């Protein structure tokens, strides 16, 4: 079991990791793609780093973390399940237990489909390697929304799932010939108690499962009962969310969507989580 598991290795997540380690806590930190800051051409407002590119600054953050033996792991967190006082975290099929979780996933751009949240776990899945076996011999749709989608469709096909690959891109050249391909996007998931069909354009396609392979997972789909305010996760001054033991920091908690705020909130979340682990009450 790890003390603190951090979802996202942007400025907020890395700051949380560094501060958790300084407090003597064990940490695992996962990230599944480049973060926002890397896209910034020039940053002038982070104290001590005048006129620096976002990529350069991000590299400095990573070097700092790595110098403290923090390993940034490549992986998408798809589900977090509270179990007693700890959490079982699913990272693309690998399960890790953590005492505390810090959400630092950046701004959520995920727009849930009609039917998606109601059928989550009843045919709607974000991870082929986690849930694929449940659909052997059955019909599954894979929606291509990330670089991993084809790999996951290939995996499902290899374990005996009848796969239809839905994509707005042309059929990938090396997509297995046993995988059906439909050009388009999914607008709705239909079913009562379980997935029965999806709607893609004018077509209604019967299916037992739909794998939504996006880069990001909506925070509310990641963990049940998370309170939000608009598009952001609601937190208090300790960066605690509505779920005991789960913290959030950075862009995901709201405006200003700025680097220094993300770094500060990462620090607060890590320090408070560490204090709670040590069962030390704050004054």
Ligand X SMILES: Cc1cc2nc3c(=O)[nH]c(=O)nc-3n(C[C@H](O)[C@H](O)[C@H](O)COP(=O)(O)OP(=O)(O)OC[C@H]3O[C@@H](n4cnc5c(N)ncnc54)[C@H](O)[C@@H]3O)c2cc1C
Q: Shortest gap between Cβ of 273 and ligand X (angstroms)?
A: 16
Q: How far is the CB of 212 from ligand X (least distance, A)?
A: 12
If you search the block for the tokens 């995901």, which residue do you land on?
252
Q: Which of 39, 71, 136, 227 binds ligand X (CB under 6 A)?
A: 39
Residues in contact with 87: Cβ distance below 8 Å, sequence separation at least 6, in sequence order: 5, 80, 81, 97, 98, 99, 100, 101, 245, 246
Q: Which of 180, 185, 220, 258 binds ligand X (CB under 6 A)?
A: 258
* Separation of CA 251 from chain center: 14
From the CB of 72, what's the least distance to ligand X, in Å?
9
Asked whether position 226 contacts ligand X by CB under 6 A, the answer is no
Q: Which of 150, 216, 239, 274: binder of ligand X (CB under 6 A)?
A: 216
Q: Toward ligand X, which CB reaches closer, 89 or 186?
A: 89
**Residue-wise over 150-177: b if at least 16 C-beta within 10 A, else e?**
bebbbbbbeeebbbbbbbeeeebeebee
- The answer to the question of residue 77 lying near ligand X (CB under 6 A) is yes
Is residue 254 a contact residue for ligand X (CB under 6 A)?
no
Q: How many whole angstroms from its chain centre is CA 273? A: 20
28, 76, 214, 272: which one contacts ligand X (CB under 6 A)?
A: 76
Q: Distance (Å, rounded) from C-alpha 178 to C-alpha 12?
A: 43
Window contacting ligand X (CB under 6 A); options: 36-44, 63-71, 116-124, 275-283: 36-44
Q: Which of 2, 6, 8, 191 binds ligand X (CB under 6 A)?
A: 8
CA distance 2 to 244: 17
Taking the complex as a whole, the smallest distance from the CB of residue 7 to ligand X amounts, in Å, to 5
What tokens were used for 50? 């005048």
CB 17 within 8 A of CB 6: yes
Q: Which stretch binds ligand X (CB under 6 A): 116-124, 201-209, 234-242, 255-263?
A: 255-263
98 binds ligand X (CB under 6 A): no
Q: How many residues contact ligand X, by CB under 6 A?
A: 33
Cα–Cα–Cα angle for 91, 92, 93, rounded to 5 degrees: 90
Tell whether omega for the bond before 166 is within 30 degrees of 0, i.e. cis.
Answer: no
Dump the DSSP string for 168-221.
SSPPPTTS-TTSEEEES-EEEEEESSSEEEEEETTEEEE-SEEEEEES---HHH
Closest separation in Å from C-beta 105 to ligand X: 4
Residue among 179, 176, 177 at smallest CA distance from 162: 179
> Quick check: 51 binds ligand X (CB under 6 A)?
no
The residue range among 39-47, 64-72, 137-145, 161-169 that interacts with ligand X, by the rule CB under 6 A, is 39-47
Q: Is 43 in the site for ligand X (CB under 6 A)?
A: yes
CB of 89 to ligand X, least distance (A): 10
Q: Check residue 13 for interaction with ligand X (CB under 6 A).
A: yes
The smaller minimum CB distance to ligand X, of residues 162 and 264, is found at: 264
Binding site for ligand X (CB under 6 A): 7-13, 30-33, 35-37, 39-40, 43, 45, 76-77, 104-106, 216-217, 250-252, 257-260, 262
């Amino acid at each position: 079991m790890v003390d603190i598991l951090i979802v996202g290795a942007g400025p907020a997540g890395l700051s949380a990791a560094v501060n958790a380690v300084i407090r003597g806590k064990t940490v695992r930190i996962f990230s599944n793609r480049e973060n926002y800051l890397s896209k910034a051409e020039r940053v002038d407002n982070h104290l001590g780093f005048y006129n620096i590119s976002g990529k350069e600054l991000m590299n400095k953050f990573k070097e700092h973390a790595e110098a403290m033996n923090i390993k940034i792991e490549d992986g998408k967190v798809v589900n977090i399940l509270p179990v007693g006082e700890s959490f079982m975290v699913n990272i693309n099929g690998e399960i890790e237990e953590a005492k505390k979780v810090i959400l630092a996933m950046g701004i959520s751009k995920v727009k849930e489909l009609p039917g998606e949240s109601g059928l989550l776990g009843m045919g709607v899945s974000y991870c082929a390697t986690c849930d694929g076996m449940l659909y052997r011999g059955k019909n599954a749709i894979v929606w291509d929304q990330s670089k991993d989608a084809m790999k996951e469709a290939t995996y499902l096909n290899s374990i005996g799932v009848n796969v239809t690959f839905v994509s707005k891109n042309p059929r990938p050249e090396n997509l297995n010939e046993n995988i059906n391909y439909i050009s388009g996007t999914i607008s709705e998931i239909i079913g009562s108690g379980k997935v029965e069909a999806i709607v893609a354009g004018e077509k209604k396609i019967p299916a037992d499962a739909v794998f939504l392979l996006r880069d990001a997972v909506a925070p509310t789909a990641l963990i049940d009962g998370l309170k939000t305010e608009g598009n952001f996760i609601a937190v208090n001054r300790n960066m605690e969310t509505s779920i005991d033991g789960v913290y959030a920091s950075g862009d995901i908690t709201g405006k200003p969507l700025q680097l220094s705020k993300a770094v500060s909130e990462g620090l607060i979340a890590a320090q408070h989580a560490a204090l709670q682990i040590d069962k030390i009450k704050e004054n």
